[in-house]
Structure 1
Amino acid sequence: MERVVMQVPGLVWTLTVVGILGLIAFDFYFHVRRAHIPTLKEAGIWSSIYVGIAVLFGLGVLLFGGQDMGAEYFAGWVTEKALSVDNLFVFLVLLGSFKVPRADQQKVLLFGIVFSLIARTGFIFLGSALINRFAFVFYLFGLILLITAGNLLKNEDDDDDERTADNVLIRIARRFLRTSEEYDGDKLFTVQDGKRVMTPMLLVMVAIGGTDILFALDSIPAIFGLTQSVYLVFTATAFSLLGLRQLYFLLDGLLDRLIFLSYGLAAILAFIGVKLILHALHENNLPFINSGDPVEVGEISTGLSLGVIIVVLIITVAASLLSPKGRAQTYTAAARRHAAAFLDVETDPRYCDEIYHRLVDEEEHIRSLPEKYRARVRQQEELMALLTRAHRLHDQRVSAGTCFSVRVP
């Protein structure tokens, strides 16, 4: 594969960075600054707008940079977008672990996106410098992706320490810094007993920042396997992250359904890892491989890479959505999440009522499953106890007049 790197003028770089910063500032001042719960319509419209901006930018790259550059951008953007959806699973777990009220979740998500963009930009320039100086870095990146793919498969059914709120940074912060147990809106600090203390809002931001760094270690090698243009790597990464906040609220409830996403991502990362290693062999200068001479091997074109990535994602999503196991996991996880939010997180009576509506709907969905899946749900004692507590609390609130009436299935 002949290496062609897109040369981008400084003015284009400046305009691109300013445009991305402008989108982030717009997102904050017009959506996040005022705490609220985005409606499905709002999330859908703005998700579509951000995807449209990314696609239009890609068409511009295709027009001004040529077919190869356009294919590299779209391959990188689609891959990073798929990996960013995996980030949403982590955000979902962290927000649930810290019991962040839904109206305040937007601020946490936007912080995570900005921090992720900053961290990944640093890794992008570091990766580019290493690639330009050391050809063997392609071997390293390829091995990282292959190991990551294996870990995705191995940890599919296990609890991942990266996805919990109980990590080292949080334990240190709770031990040595003054922290409160209660939220004060979306404030990072509050006054408690006359002392200034950190709120859990700051702690969850620290947790998300730490996981973002770990995700960058996987995603940056992946996109460098598709293009070595720093400009394309940066823009594809940035546009994959923009709109992630809206996508979180749009896909709420669907995330749990994508049960085969990890398998699809593992296949994509393994494919790109093989692509990187083939490229490394083609440019080999390591003395212990073929006496330091390049190895004549076939390479995988960017067009083929883009096709494989899209096909794998389509198969993964379709299999997840059509699978009875996927439906069972979706309904169970959603019921657990809604019950926990109703019990421990939300205090707004109107939103409590909405959550309870959703919980009742998910229970109805569970009852519509085949018997073997319903039996598995009944065997989850912790879940059944949680649902019982939620119904008991709802009955108490209705009796006390602190909760709106709800439909009973």
Structure 2
Amino acid sequence: MGAPAWVWLLTVIGIVGLLAFDYFFHVRKAHTPTLREAAIWSSIYVGIALVFGVGVLVFGGGAMGGEYFAGYVTEKALSVDNLFVFLIIIASFHVPRDDQQKVLLFGIAFSLVARTGFIFVGAALINTFAWVFYLFGLILLLTAGNMLKPDDDSGDKENFVVRLTRRLFHVSEHFDGDKLFTVENGKRILTPMLLVMVAIGGTDILFALDSIPAIFGLTQNVYLVFTATAFSLLGLRQLYFLLDGLLDRLIYLSYGLAAILAFIGVKLILHALHENNIPFVNDGEPVHVAEVSTGLSLSVILGVLVITIAASLFSKRGRAENAIANARRHAASYLDSEYTSDPAERERIHNALLAERDTIVSLGPKYTKIARQETPLMELLERALASHTAAVERGEATPSGPPKIVKDDDGGASNRSDP
């Protein structure tokens, strides 16, 4: 199992304690975390993971330490990719801003339980059947290929379980705070909050199908697999709010993750050949091939992530796609009366919408034209403008108005804000 029973016990108690602390001190009372709060707690959770890794280095040696850090970095990168899907699910269900923390914490807890189950099943298979390394390698290579396909951003992310739940049970059209059940017309029915949790829980299981083989490709120490996975998930809620508004800018992250998964997939297949006992491969004898060291694995993973993240952040296309996606999201949130009842939060959304307008225009006519050609976006902005104008007339908002991106008489792009 990779560690004594008492070490496992202390580790599990510590992780459960962190989840409980997160719930009782941050999530129990519905609120939207500030950027400062999200940054502080994200740093604390990353710091805990790094300190734990140093402990592994000290007490387990360089090999174990290297395997832990390679696994942690890989799982953390994959968890950031998972945030894209969480963002789409939360947006498609129009989850109120103040209640999004509860949804995310449930997703993290469910994911931790589900992946722990996958970890022990995977470990049992590996210990019993050497050919499982071939299977894991193939899964990662197929996953890498799928990551290169265009994403479906239609927002229709209801999985089979959610659709079945809607058919079998009465579901309210509106949220009732963060409650999972509510009463309508004297009947107890489900709220959309429960459906969101079901949707995120279902996607977590799919994420585990590439996450667990990936980390087993870096270490077969079950304790390291568990702790690297757990620490990569802890703090994911805070990271969501810290990266909110920047996720769409990481346009090349999927390519980087595809390269990492393909690399680990090849590494697994090489390891499978080295441990081969399948009769129709080299007559059941091991194949003497080069194996990838942990140090090389960690270097490749870090190098690919640094390159793809830097390319995304410095790319004009990335900035434009991020600004357009955020403008669409902010306009939809501004128009959704259930999203938040806090006037300060609505003002924050409005100001963020103006900032995205300025970003799009600053990138030049090419990207402003792209924004103008997105009919759903322009319709949302027009509706947000009308809503804000009405709020100004009632004295509930400042007269700056959501943005309009229009075409000048000479065909060039400009912008204006109408009160």
TM-score (norm 2): 0.94
SS state at 1:71 partner: helix
Counterpart Cα distance in 2 of 1:338 and 1:379:
18
Q: Match of 1:37?
A: 32
Q: Do 1:357 and 1:406's aligned partners in 2 also have CA atoms closer than 8 Å?
A: no
Q: Does 1:167 align with 2:159?
A: yes
Q: Match of 2:392?
A: 398
Q: Do 1:336 and 1:386's aligned partners in 2 also have CA atoms closer than 8 Å?
A: yes
Q: Match of 1:132?
A: 127
Q: Any unmatched runs of 5+ in structure 2? A: 403-416
Shift of 1:405: 5.0
1:5-404 matches, within 5 Å, as 7-154=2-149, 157-159=150-152, 164-344=156-336, 345-404=339-398
Letter in 1 for 2:84: F
Shift of 1:14: 0.2
SS state at 2:148 partner: helix
Counterpart Cα distance in 2 of 1:63 and 1:405:
60
Q: Do 1:146 and 1:273's aligned partners in 2 also have CA atoms closer than 8 Å?
A: yes
SS state at 1:342 partner: helix
Counterpart Cα distance in 2 of 1:346 and 1:406:
20
Deviation string, structure 1 residues 72-116 (Cα, Å, up to 9, x no partner): 000000000000001110110011000001100000000000000
Shift of 1:350: 2.0
Counterpart Cα distance in 2 of 1:158 and 1:75:
27
SS state at 1:191 partner: strand
SS state at 1:197 partner: strand
Counterpart Cα distance in 2 of 1:9 and 1:170:
41
SS state at 2:176 partner: coil
Shift of 1:373: 1.3
Counterpart Cα distance in 1 of 2:151 and 2:82:
17
Shift of 1:160: 6.6
Deviation string, structure 1 residues 104-145 (Cα, Å, up to 9, x no partner): 000000000000000000000000000000000000000000
Deviation string, structure 1 residues 245-278 (Cα, Å, up to 9, x no partner): 0000000111010000100000000000000000
Q: Do 2:361 and 2:367's aligned partners in 1 also have CA atoms closer than 8 Å?
A: no
SS state at 1:186 partner: coil
Structure 1 moving runs of 4+ over 4 Å: 404-409
Counterpart Cα distance in 1 of 2:401 and 2:93:
30
Q: Match of 2:407?
A: none
SS state at 1:91 partner: helix
Number of aligned residues: 401
Counterpart Cα distance in 2 of 1:215 and 1:323:
28
Q: Do 2:67 and 2:294's aligned partners in 1 also have CA atoms closer than 8 Å?
A: yes
Tell which has more relative contact order, 1 or 2 (C-alpha 8 A, sep 6+): 1
Counterpart Cα distance in 2 of 1:80 and 1:302:
15
Q: Do 1:350 and 1:404's aligned partners in 2 also have CA atoms closer than 8 Å?
A: no
Counterpart Cα distance in 2 of 1:315 and 1:65:
31
Q: Match of 2:411?
A: none
Q: Do 1:91 and 1:208's aligned partners in 2 also have CA atoms closer than 8 Å?
A: yes
Shift of 1:393: 0.7
Q: How much identity, in percent, do the aligned residues show?
A: 69
Letter in 2 for 1:202: L
Shift of 1:391: 1.0
SS state at 1:288 partner: coil
Range with bigger deviation, 254-263 or 346-355: 346-355
Counterpart Cα distance in 2 of 1:253 and 1:362:
10
